[in-house]
Structure 1
Amino acid sequence: MSESKAPEYRVLARKYRPQTFADMIGQEALVRTLTNAIQSGRLAHAFMLTGVRGVGKTTSARIVARALNCIGADGTGGPTPEPCGVCDPCVAIAADRHPDVIEMDAASRTGVDDIREIIDGVRYKPISARYKIYIIDEVHMLSKNAFNALLKTLEEPPDHTKFLFATTEIRKVPITVLSRCQRFDLRRIEPEVLAAHFTRVAGLEKVTLTPEAAALIGRAADGSARDGMSLLDQAIALSSGGTVEAETVRAMLGLADRLLVYDLFGKVMAGAIAEGLALYEDMHRAGADASQVLQDLMGLCHTVTRLKVAPGALESAAETERRAAGDLAGSLSVAALTRAWQILLKGAQEVHAAPDPRAALEMVLIRLAYVTDLPSPADLIRRLTQEGAPAVGGPAPSGGGAGPRLAMIAGGGAVAVAQAAPVSVGLPQPTSFEEVVALVEAKKDLSLRTHLMNDVRLVSFEVGKIDLMPLERAPRDLAAKLSGCLQDWTGRRWMVALTASGGGQTLREQEQTEAAARRDRLARHPLVQQIAKTLGGTVEEMIVTPRQGFLPAAPQAPLDPDAEGLDETGDFVVDDADFLDHTF
């Protein structure tokens, strides 16, 4: 008696491939649109499915083919967004043997002759199905002549034919083809959604997948369900089918411990380069890949920067990660983080091109540690423009010349900053932001004045330095334009900085607030109240024309409550004739 053969193993990516729209994850917009289209009968004759690898393009095309040709378990059904999976068309399409569902790989069949076979077959009605469906995978690989040959058929196909195209390179598809298709952009699947899906699949496989291991695989999948399923398959094999731990996944992927990356970044940014190199040495011996460590550092730099400017960005992260990221965000400035990002970004190219990635990464860490204590460009300019301040990195040059000073900044470059120009006698010198706006108005730059009145909030003002918080409508070049204009008009250097928060009301809002206060004061005036009482109404709106000193100009000195014309509350007292001389 012959020994029975064990069933052949199917990889998880094929075993758990979605068979219905309900099985798909992370593509709610696509599922909702196709479901509504099938239910209402508003079906396009051609669909273009695009997205990164492994997000479900070909799977979606096969589900659509089954949904359009399903006849139900009793053989009397019509097109449905929930194919039964047991009727002959559903079974044959799932097994890739239905004669009316033709699937073609455009990567291997790219020529005009291959398209002619489709054009010739389109004219014939389906053999047994409701629709004849052509699924062309990686359609961007077709030649230019092949696309041209398909255009006419694609524009006016027979009613019994549907085209389903899938591509990862949508920009390579001619616009003439795209305009004839209904396009769906399949999005990358979120790591949290993938992690939950992998945990569910592991349970079906009688394997325990720890939450941290699921999160690691979800991040490593980079939005691709198929890539993640392949990684899960490998992790289960490495764990001998028991419990998949985070350490196993890290060893498989060549990843460093997440908290170790936080520790490494913190030490390097604190300038403790010896401790940082020793920590990276331990990570390297544990199997961490240099490129992956650098990617983790870049991701961490981005996360901490987001947390710095938008608190609450890590609400879904583990408590330990939130605490570590919060400590880094509290100790590092945005300027230091953006400078670190530039160094890491440049270092990624060096690590990729270097014959020894480990040595290249160590050089990046050293560079990062030695630029953390350098001043920011704003601080550098402030120091160099101070009267008599020495240049960074050395004493002030002798002779008091007006030549530029050079200061080294992150990345090994240099910035030239001229010494503060002497203030020209006779030129206007504004001492407040309001005087700056008045100067802009005097110079007839109405556009700049409008932006300063309406679109910025003053954070701080010093002569020669203005900090502003821009609003949504503020132009991007506002700081540079205002700085250049003030330098031309005043003869001295002005530094205008834009910050992401702070500031009070805009000047326009201040004017409106003051006008509202004046209207309120007048509405409470006894004569106004008497007029309203006599007329039997209320004071709804007043238009005040400040003529003949009714509302005197704001005095330069504080108002004296005992002065003539003021009552005990500090309000102006006017006689009836003067009061009635104004319009309400």
Structure 2
Amino acid sequence: MDDTPLPADDTAAGEALMPGLDLPQTAPDPGYQVLARKYRPSKFEDLIGQDAMVRTLTNAFAAGRIAHAYMLTGVRGIGKTTTARLIARALNYETDTADGPAMTLSEPGRHCEAIARSAHVDVMEMDAASRTGVNDIREILDGVRYAPVSARYKVYIIDEVHMLSTSAFNALLKTLEEPPEHAKFIFATTEIRKVPVTVLSRCQRFDLKRIDREVLTDHLERICGLENASVDREGLSLIARAAEGSVRDALSLLDQAIVQGSEETGPVTAPQVRDMLGLADRARVLDLLEQALSGKTADALDEIGALYDAGGDPVVITRDLLDYVHALSRVKAAGPGADLGEAADTVQRIAGLAEKQSLAQLTRLWKILLTGLDDVRNAPDALAAAEMTVLRLAAAASLPPPEEAARILAGHPPAARSETPAAPPASASASSPASLAGEAPGKPEPASQAPAHAARPAAPVAPAEAESELPGPRTFEALIALLREKRDIALQSDVERYVRPGAFRPGSFTFQPVEDCPPDLAQRLAKRLQEWTGARWAILADHEVRGGETWSERRQREAEEKLERARQDPAVAEALRLFPGAEIVAVREAPAADGDADEKTTERRA
């Protein structure tokens, strides 16, 4: 046997690798570290945006009320794994002057470096995404009963815990409820709803919040200073916005943005960052919204095409439109002083647009864009879906506010108005119409012109008098007769097939559209009535209205009733008996003779 002593270096290495001890302190230079790893928080004070969690943990540690299991939840890159390691360090914090769990980690402890590098024998990290089975959990549970080797507590960090199988969760329950004094569990997940309630009830839960855009922008600016990098504040704001509250995503994007500039080209500008992210110019998106709300559909289509050609993603463009409609709503609800996080000139433009829309109209626009966003994401041609969304936006912007539509639905014609200012009617929240036509695009009615029935009883025009002055049909039957007289075959066919008549008054008509009804039927009918009568007609297509029969259904019903009456006629019944297999094809009305009852001519077919 060779008794030659080991070299000093090998002996040191052998001692360092013994159980319970740290790995060798000397390690090769790792080279460049990405910013997300380089600036990972090393103490609780470095965590940004999680003040509530830090305060709760600090108070719990100070009072000695340390839980045996923690559940950390939040979006990706928010700091769940980092927080878990910090808690593990706090539980096992030990220095020459401190010997107990502590939240102040300013002075590195004996176990801190090894825990931070995931190299401590008593702090075990497991990725449940790759180890989901019950056998993986049993390996952990078999070691729980043994005391820690060198640290104060054995800490088990299980990342993406929601990926564990049902049997794995069941195996964990008993130990999780009554763990040994030396064992602590820290779970992290992005899908908290997938974690069984039985596990959640045994843990102290912390919801890590998304980082506010301004806070994240300030954080990126500090890191740029430490890295001697120069990126425009607006560019950093774009990165923070694209990261959606995730610190890791923001730092990864910042890593990419820093190399967009150089000493020769100067600081990284916002347009460079925008091109890197594939974002559309938000100022141009605001132009697009302005054009759509003004009814300039051709300009709006040209603008969205130009944004797409410049590299804008249709999904991002639609989301930007949603953001701006949300900003308009906030300004409308809270006033021009609402905190929008936008530049001063942008806020001024948003305030100007908000003045022209009611809050109910903005709510309607928001719903259209929200539906449109799903269409753009799922459509085979995203640009075409985005264009259709913009067209729907323009069409909805030309409609009167829902409160005006509710007034028309209540049976008050648009011509009957009072000049006395009044508050909006209480029925403003009534069912909004699906389509309204006859309103000139881009010309909303002044807010000072309140509906007659909502104004003070000064001297409004009586509805009956107003109706008598309006030309045109006064019943649905008269409307059908007018369509036949004018020989507009296409419009007549659509009205007869798809319209279930509701409230009909001179100047206004509400109907329930049948399935597959052309979406522009109300507009076409209103336009024709205005041409034929010279008066503006408000035509409402409302799916919530319970209309009567369509004209086609009515004709079919009347034809069937005639056939049934013919079958009941004794002479016809006898003829059908004498000619087996005969069938009544149609019933025609015979011209009525003076003093005689109407005669029917019945066609029979053998």
Q: Give the CA deviation at 1:340.
A: 1.7
Q: Secondary structure at the match of 2:397?
A: coil
Q: Give the CA deviation at 1:248.
A: 1.2
Q: Is residue 194 of structure 1 aligned with residue 216 of structure 2?
A: yes
The aligned counterpart of 1:40 is 63
Q: Counterpart amino acid of 1:302? A: H
Which of 478, 482, 503 in structure 2 is aligned with 1:418? 503
Write the distance in 1 (CA, Å) between the matches of 2:310 and 2:379: 21
The aligned counterpart of 1:578 is none
Q: Is residue 275 of structure 1 aligned with residue 299 of structure 2?
A: yes
- Residue 392 and residue 368 in structure 1: after superposition, are their counterparts in 2 closer, same or farther (change >3 A)? closer
Counterpart mapping for 1:259-274 below 5 A: 259-274=283-298
Aligned 8 A contact 1:134 1:164 in 2:
yes
Q: Is residue 369 of structure 1 aligned with residue 389 of structure 2?
A: no
Q: Secondary structure at the match of 1:243?
A: coil
The aligned counterpart of 1:498 is none
The aligned counterpart of 1:232 is 254
The aligned counterpart of 1:347 is 372
- Residue 244 and residue 417 in structure 1: after superposition, are their counterparts in 2 closer, same or farther (change >3 A)? farther
Which of 170, 174, 177 in structure 2 is aligned with 1:148? 170
What TM-score, normalized by structure 2, do the two folds share? Answer: 0.63
The aligned counterpart of 2:312 is 288
- Residue 239 and residue 181 in structure 1: after superposition, are their counterparts in 2 closer, same or farther (change >3 A)? same
Q: Counterpart amino acid of 1:332? A: Q
The aligned counterpart of 2:38 is 15
The aligned counterpart of 1:301 is 325
Q: Give the CA deviation at 1:237.
A: 2.3
Q: Counterpart amino acid of 2:503? A: A
The aligned counterpart of 2:473 is 398
Q: Give the CA deviation at 1:392.
A: 5.0
Q: Is residue 337 of structure 1 aligned with residue 362 of structure 2?
A: yes
Aligned 8 A contact 2:132 2:168 in 1:
yes
Q: Secondary structure at the match of 1:88?
A: coil
Write the distance in 2 (CA, Å) between the matches of 1:414 and 1:244: 60
Q: Give the CA deviation at 1:239.
A: 2.7
Write the distance in 2 (CA, Å) between the matches of 1:400 and 1:200: 72
The aligned counterpart of 2:423 is none
Q: Counterpart amino acid of 1:288? A: G
Cα offsets for 1:35-74 (capped at 9, x unmatched): 12122211000001111111111111100111111212x3
Q: Give the CA deviation at 1:115.
A: 1.0
Write the distance in 1 (CA, Å) between the matches of 2:478 and 2:104: 77
Q: Give the CA deviation at 1:282.
A: 2.6
Write the distance in 2 (CA, Å) between the matches of 1:164 and 1:414: 63
Aligned 8 A contact 1:140 1:170 in 2:
yes
Cα offsets for 1:132-153 (capped at 9, x unmatched): 1000001111111111111111
The aligned counterpart of 2:237 is 215
- Residue 399 and residue 271 in structure 1: after superposition, are their counterparts in 2 closer, same or farther (change >3 A)? closer
Aligned 8 A contact 1:236 1:244 in 2:
yes
Cα offsets for 1:480-514 (capped at 9, x unmatched): 9xxxxxxxxxxxxxxxxxxxxxxxxxxxxxxxxxx
The aligned counterpart of 1:386 is 412
Write the distance in 1 (CA, Å) between the matches of 2:354 and 2:272: 30
Aligned 8 A contact 2:220 2:254 in 1:
yes
Counterpart mapping for 1:64-213 below 5 A: 64-72=87-95, 74=96, 76-84=98-106, 86-213=108-235
Q: Counterpart amino acid of 2:361? A: A
Write the distance in 2 (CA, Å) between the matches of 1:156 and 1:19: 31
What TM-score, normalized by structure 1, do the two folds share? Answer: 0.66
Write the distance in 2 (CA, Å) between the matches of 1:403 and 1:111: 74
Q: Counterpart amino acid of 2:66? A: L
Q: Secondary structure at the match of 1:67?
A: helix
- Residue 415 and residue 264 in structure 1: after superposition, are their counterparts in 2 closer, same or farther (change >3 A)? farther
- Between 1:339-348 and 1:163-172, the stretch displaced more is 339-348
The aligned counterpart of 1:573 is none
Q: Is residue 252 of structure 1 aligned with residue 268 of structure 2?
A: no
Q: Is residue 310 of structure 1 aligned with residue 385 of structure 2?
A: no
The aligned counterpart of 1:430 is none
Counterpart mapping for 1:446-525 below 5 A: none
Q: Give the CA deviation at 1:276.
A: 1.9
Write the distance in 2 (CA, Å) between the matches of 1:399 and 1:248: 63
Q: Secondary structure at the match of 1:184?
A: strand
- Residue 375 and residue 180 in structure 1: after superposition, are their counterparts in 2 closer, same or farther (change >3 A)? same
Cα offsets for 1:171-205 (capped at 9, x unmatched): 11111111111111111111111101011111111
- Residue 280 and residue 415 in structure 1: after superposition, are their counterparts in 2 closer, same or farther (change >3 A)? farther
What are the ranges of 5 or more consecutive residues in structure 1 without an aligned counterpart? 407-412, 422-479, 481-584
Q: Give the CA deviation at 1:404.
A: 11
Q: Counterpart amino acid of 1:40? A: A
Q: Secondary structure at the match of 2:48?
A: coil
Write the distance in 1 (CA, Å) between the matches of 2:92 and 2:414: 84
- Residue 316 and residue 300 in structure 1: after superposition, are their counterparts in 2 closer, same or farther (change >3 A)? closer
Q: Give the CA deviation at 1:373.
A: 1.8
Aligned 8 A contact 1:61 1:135 in 2:
yes
Q: Counterpart amino acid of 2:239? A: I
Q: Secondary structure at the match of 1:296?
A: helix
Q: Counterpart amino acid of 1:237? A: V
Q: Give the CA deviation at 1:240.
A: 4.3
- Between 1:279-288 and 1:136-145, the stretch displaced more is 279-288
- Residue 114 and residue 415 in structure 1: after superposition, are their counterparts in 2 closer, same or farther (change >3 A)? farther
What are the ranges of 5 or more consecutive residues in structure 2 without an aligned counterpart? 1-27, 417-435, 440-469, 481-490, 492-497, 507-543, 545-606
Which of 37, 44, 52 in structure 2 is aligned with 1:29? 52
Q: Give the CA deviation at 1:402.
A: 8.7
Q: Counterpart amino acid of 1:89? A: H
Aligned 8 A contact 2:473 2:479 in 1:
no
Write the distance in 1 (CA, Å) between the matches of 2:501 and 2:251: 54
Cα offsets for 1:439-474 (capped at 9, x unmatched): xxxxxxxxxxxxxxxxxxxxxxxxxxxxxxxxxxxx
Q: Counterpart amino acid of 1:11? A: V
Q: Give the CA deviation at 1:334.
A: 2.2
Write the distance in 1 (CA, Å) between the matches of 2:274 and 2:73: 31
Write the distance in 1 (CA, Å) between the matches of 2:156 and 2:293: 56
Q: Secondary structure at the match of 1:244?
A: coil
- Residue 269 and residue 85 in structure 1: after superposition, are their counterparts in 2 closer, same or farther (change >3 A)? same
Cα offsets for 1:206-233 (capped at 9, x unmatched): 1012111111111111111111111111
Aligned 8 A contact 2:127 2:159 in 1:
yes
Which of 327, 338, 345 in structure 1 is aligned with 2:352? 327
Q: Counterpart amino acid of 1:355? A: P
Q: Give the CA deviation at 1:355.
A: 2.1
Aligned 8 A contact 1:389 1:396 in 2:
no
Aligned 8 A contact 1:255 1:288 in 2:
yes
Write the distance in 2 (CA, Å) between the matches of 1:414 and 1:80: 74
Q: Counterpart amino acid of 1:19? A: S
The aligned counterpart of 1:54 is 77
Cα offsets for 1:115-134 (capped at 9, x unmatched): 11111111111000011100
Q: Percent identity among equivalent residues?
A: 53
Q: Counterpart amino acid of 2:229? A: V
Q: Counterpart amino acid of 1:366? A: L
